[in-house]
Amino acid sequence: MTDLVVIFRTHSDIEAQIVRGLLETHGVMSVVSSDVPHSIFPLSVDGLGEVRLAVHHTQAEEAQRIIESHRTELANGRVVRLRDEFEALEQAIDYRFRDRGLLEHAMTHTSRANEDVSGGVVDNESLEFLGDAILGFVIADVLFREFPEFDEGEKSKTKASLVSTAMLGRLAEHLSLGEHMLLGRGEEKTGGRRKQALLADSYEALIAAIYLDGGVEHARAFIVREFADVFADVRRQGAGGAQDYKSALQETVQARDLPLPEYRLVGTEGPDHRKQFQVAVVVNGDVLGEATGPSKKEAEQEAARVALEKLRTEN
């Protein structure tokens, strides 16, 4: 222990864990100590005790450099806490958390939690489960109230398209959610911030965090606001029309006298119970789009959407 040097002190357990994760992404391992026990959930210990991060003395200078490079100095000389960039996310979602630890929890991927040896970091999988249920309920409620002309089958088809991984991934991208996810080193290196499945999971966890922080009305308001344009598409195109990109792509290539699209399974990843399928859509020998999804059908739809955007951009 005499080889360890304390390089960071704070009264926030959340901030300490974030700084620790930051150091680990740069290959600097640290040890956490505090005057209070860690909870399984992120917590603030302001006024209760100090949380300290220590590293081996040979890495102390590098650790300080990394920390300082991620601080923001304001005009009045005050240094902003490292995770105050969540301010941008709160502005994007138009909701301010009373307990920002819930937002932190929602953005923590299992890869980040698995790499934390202290056991003080919990992943967002339980929040994903809750958020999925809340999202499904709100979408079903809106469809029931605002689309009375849809029969049960049409409502089910539309709901499935709206809560799909591809749809949630796109909405997450619009919020730049990937920039705020807390990932492990391995997931970071393999492009986790751009993976549709991870973005969709974090989006569901975000919904749950808003619900837990502010109640069901705030969660509903967020979902309705986020899906406003999508529901407008449903009104224009009818049941399921919000995501029938394969049909739209087929019509587009036929209008250009091109061969029909061909969908190829490029590969799969993940465990059997959460497998992701990677699909490429090929037209006239050219790959026009690639996408991943929890089923080949969803991956094909998303690949078709990417291909459509490419064709429209080329015009």
Catalytic residues: 132, 204
Helix (H) or strand (E) holding 55: strand 51-56
Q: Are 303 and 263 in contact (CB under 8 A)?
A: yes
DSSP state of 182: B
| Rounded Cα gap, residues 184 and 114, in angstroms | 8
Question: Measuring CA to CA, how many Å separate 63 from each of 1, 6, 24, 74, 265?
Answer: 17, 10, 10, 22, 44
Residues in CB range of 239: below 8 A, 6 or more apart? 147, 150, 154, 155, 157, 158
| Rounded Cα gap, residues 176 and 146, in angstroms | 29
Number of other residues whose CB lies within 10 A of the CB of residue 52: 18
